[in-house]
Amino acid sequence: MSVTPRADLAAIPDYNTPGQAPGAIVLNSNEVPQPPPPPVVEAMARAAAEGHRYPEWFSDTLVSRLSADLAVPGERMAVGCGSVSLCRDLIQAVCGPGDEVLFAWRSFDAYSVFTRVAEARARTVPLDAEHRHDLTAMLDAVTPATRVVFLCNPNNPTGTALGEPALREFLRRLPDRILVVLDEAYREFVTDPAVPDGVELAREHGNLAVLRTFSKAYGLAGVRVGYCVAPPAVVSALHKVSVPFAVSRLAQAAALAALDHAEDVRERCAAVVRERERLREHLLRDGYPVPPSQANFLWLPLAHRTSGFTDFCARHGILVRAFPDEGVRVTVGLPQENDAFLNAASRFASESRTGPGPDRPLNGHDLRAT
Ligand code: PMP
């Protein structure tokens, strides 16, 4: 083949995609463990019967519904094929070659990839010692070329969250020519009252965009739909850069039905939060320095033990997400899945102290290579 792709793409690291193994306990993708509620599945089936028709171009019905629920004018709202596509479109809508996109690191890895694909420059600021955004250092990192700042709240993969005073101060001090994208993909799992509601902040700050998704709390990761509250000019620009018909008829129907079952969502999130706190307590007791999480996952800053831990879990049929030499992110699963994970983590901790014991199954889970 003589066709050559863009040369600069070779320098962009591939996504850290989650591993898969048939029959494994999957705690590596920040999904919720239950399928969507039956009425949501039924709404998708009804939409499928009209699969020969294109969906609404800009998801107008869903935009109207979200706009009414959140009391945000429709001109400030856009729907996308998952919030990840809105991350990409926001960069595309605001940045040209050489512009800078600022974000904390480590954070959601898509920010870096999309920035570079747009030929913009990524400027990253390390998280602080408690695995939180260092907002002072981020302000210091702003340059005349900065066009977009991503704040991931709670942060993926550390689960840490910014409180309202710090965020307000940041917004007050940042030049308002810069678009702040507050990524609230995990908003529904937040229990700390100090963590602000981004949509409320967006009412006061004309340069703030807020990203949310149906993938996590609403259990629709496989259906692909998310939304964004943004300044009207940014929404118009999003409409220019987004892929037409990207949000399928099924996805729009599922999101609308899911909004009708908000009580189910709240109950599921409460169960995740209970398990999150139980997991963290056990892990702390086993000596893992796990930061408090406001999301549906926990961060184990294992540094050089990251791959050893991940392989150990995989041998026990449990998939977690490794960030090599940094740490492991584990998603909260069903109670029995979490028990299996805790058993593996306990055994890894004790073997790290005393050396490996016999390779026996944990809680009935077969040892298997993945
Ligand atoms: N933002 C963050 C912080 C995420 O972790 C994710 C999913 N991993 C997304 C956005 C994208 O989610 P989705 O495209 O499924 O809405």
Closest CA relative to residue 241, chosen from 36, 137, 94: 94
Backbone phi, psi, residue 300, to 5°: -110, 105
What's the total number of domains in the chain?
A: 2
pLDDT at 359: 47
pLDDT(49) > 80: yes
Residue 168 lies in domain: 38-259
pLDDT(50) > 90: yes
| Same domain as 110, residue 210 | yes
pLDDT at 357: 58
pLDDT at 84: 97
> Which residue carries 């029959």 as its tokens?
23
Provide, rounded to the nearest whole percent, the portion of the chain with pLDDT above 90: 89
| Same domain as 76, residue 209 | yes
Confidence of residue 200 (pLDDT cuts 50, 70, 90): very high
Closest CA relative to residue 150, chosen from 173, 169, 133, 129: 133
pLDDT(362) > 80: no
pLDDT(361) > 80: no
Give the domain CATH number at 345. 3.90.1150.10
Average pLDDT for residues 199-219, to the nearest whole number? 97
pLDDT(152) > 70: yes
pLDDT(370) > 60: no
Candidate of 216, 228, 294, 297 to mutate for ligand 1, largest count of ligand atoms within 8 Å of Cβ: 216
| Same domain as 274, residue 222 | no
Give a yes or no: residue 2 inside a domain. Answer: no
Which ligand 1 atom is the nearest neighbour of the CA of 216?
15
| Same domain as 209, residue 189 | yes
Question: Which residues lie closer than 8 Å to 300 by C-beta, 6 or more apart?
Answer: 283, 288, 290, 309, 327, 328, 329, 330, 345
Centre of ligand 1 to C-alpha 109, Å, is 10
Give a yes or no: residue 366 inside a domain. Answer: no
Centre of ligand 1 to C-alpha 20, Å, is 19
| Same domain as 21, residue 167 | no
Q: What is the pLDDT of residues 268-325, one digit of tens each?
A: 999 999 999 999 999 999 999 999 999 999 999 999 999 999 999 999 999 999 999 9
